[in-house]
Every structure is written in C-alpha cells, then in structure tokens.
C-alpha cells in the first residue's frame, strides 16, 4: 500500500532555471519546497530580488524598470508602447484639453529653466488661474512664477502672453532677476 502512494505522488527531479535556460537537478535550487524557485543557486540571491522577467525583452532586467503598481510582465518601456502611447495621443488630440496641455507643457519647461524640482500647480489651480480665458485663447498664454526662486503656487504665479514670457525668460537667463520680478508683479495687478 505504501508503494502505491509513493508512485502516485510525482517527485520533481529537475526544474527549469530561467537564468541558465536549462533544466537542472532539483538540488540546484534554493528551495525544493512549495515556493518553487525559478532561479537556481548558481545565481546571486541579490539579483533574484533586484531583477524581473520582461516577456517582450525576453530577459531579466532591473526591477526599477518596471512599474511599482501591479504584477505585470512588461517593463515600463514596453508598457508605454502597448498602452501609454495610445492614451497620450488621445489626450493630446482632445480639443477640450489642448489649451491646458499647452500651458502645462510650458510650465514644465520653465520648471527646468528655473531649476525647480516640481511645477507646483495642480490641474485645478491652473484652471483657476486661466478661468477668465476661453479655450481658444489658452494657446496664446503661459503661466510663470513671480519669484523664479520659489516653486509656483497660486500666490506665486501670473498668467502672461507667450511673447512676454519669452522676453522674461531671456531677462532671467541674463541674471537680471529684479527686472524679471518687476515685470511679473506688474502683470499680476
């Protein structure tokens, strides 16, 4: 009777290692238990926790190249190719959002110009600052900080024309911050 039970239970003798791309004896794996490790003992345990399989790359790549949310088998690059590209095109082509996206992009460029870490304005705040403008007029305006050393906020932002913005950015790049702030304060009124 005991022999019948042993023959009914299949004992795993070999397992496929995803790193070696080969079948190896079960003794080569870290745990022969229930978890069934997919990587053999020949590879560093550190790399087992810091790499992940991407099905499109067909390779193990660094965990930081994957999105944090969800357990998928696509790295950020291939996830963007699959889903993100279509979503971005849809958002860019939405006539209701073209003006907002334009102002947001300019804020992002200015953030880099002023060497800041974040834009500082949320979507609702940008819409609040530009509520007096129509959707068609938004393409002719930009939002810049009054004090370029501080992150933009409702108190530290002003809506100006794009032509004036170009002049103000040039003034800032010429290290004349006082003149920049005077022009911005004048536009705030």
- Give, as one character, the DSSP assignment of residue 95: T
Q: Measure Cα distances from 85 to 32, 52, 79 in Å.
A: 42, 23, 9
The pTM of the whole model exceeds 0.75: no
**Do 37 and 61 belong to one domain?**
no
**Do 116 and 169 belong to one domain?**
yes
- Kindly state the tokens that stand for 81: 């190719």
**Do 148 and 109 belong to one domain?**
yes
- How many domains are there within the chain? 3
**pLDDT tens track for 42-101:** 665 555 567 778 888 888 888 778 887 766 788 888 888 888 888 888 887 888 888 888
Q: Which domain holds residue 80?
A: 45-93
Q: Measure Cα distances from 158 to 33, 71, 92, 144, 183 in Å.
A: 64, 43, 24, 6, 10
**Do 8 and 75 belong to one domain?**
no
**Do 114 and 176 belong to one domain?**
yes
C-alpha span between 11 and 23 (Å, rounded): 15
HSE-CB of 107 using CA atoms within 13 angstroms: 27
**Do 5 and 32 belong to one domain?**
yes
**Do 33 and 59 belong to one domain?**
no
**Do 89 and 151 belong to one domain?**
no
**pLDDT tens track for 84-143:** 888 888 887 888 888 888 899 999 999 999 998 888 889 899 989 998 888 888 889 999
C-alpha span between 34 and 31 (Å, rounded): 8
Pinpoint the alpha helices (H) of 74-176. 76-79, 85-92, 98-113, 123-129, 162-173
**Do 53 and 82 belong to one domain?**
yes
**Do 15 and 59 belong to one domain?**
no
**Do 120 and 63 belong to one domain?**
no
**pLDDT tens track for 160-174:** 999 999 999 999 999
**Do 20 and 50 belong to one domain?**
no
Name which of 169, 129, 161 is nearest 142 in CA terms.
161
Place of tokens 């003794």: 27
């Amino acid at each position: 009777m005991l022999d019948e039970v042993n023959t009914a239970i299949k004992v795993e003798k070999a397992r496929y290692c995803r790193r070696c791309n080969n079948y190896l004896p079960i003794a080569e794996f870290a745990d022969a238990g229930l978890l069934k490790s997919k990587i053999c003992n020949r590879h560093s345990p550190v790399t087992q926790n810091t790499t992940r399989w991407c099905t499109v790359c067909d390779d193990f790549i660094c965990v930081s190249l994957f999105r944090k949310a969800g357990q998928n088998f696509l790295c950020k690059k291939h996830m963007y190719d699959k889903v993100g590209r279509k979503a971005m095109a849809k958002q860019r082509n939405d006539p209701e959002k073209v003006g907002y996206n334009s102002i947001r992009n300019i804020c992002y460029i200015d953030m880099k110009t002023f060497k800041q870490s974040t834009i500082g304005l949320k979507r609702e705040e940008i819409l609040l600052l530009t509520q007096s403008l129509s959707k068609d007029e938004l393409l002719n305006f930009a939002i810049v900080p009054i004090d370029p050393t501080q992150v933009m906020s409702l108190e530290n932002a002003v809506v100006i024309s794009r032509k004036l913005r170009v002049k103000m950015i040039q003034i800032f790049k010429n290290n004349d911050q006082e003149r920049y702030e005077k022009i911005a304060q004048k536009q705030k009124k």
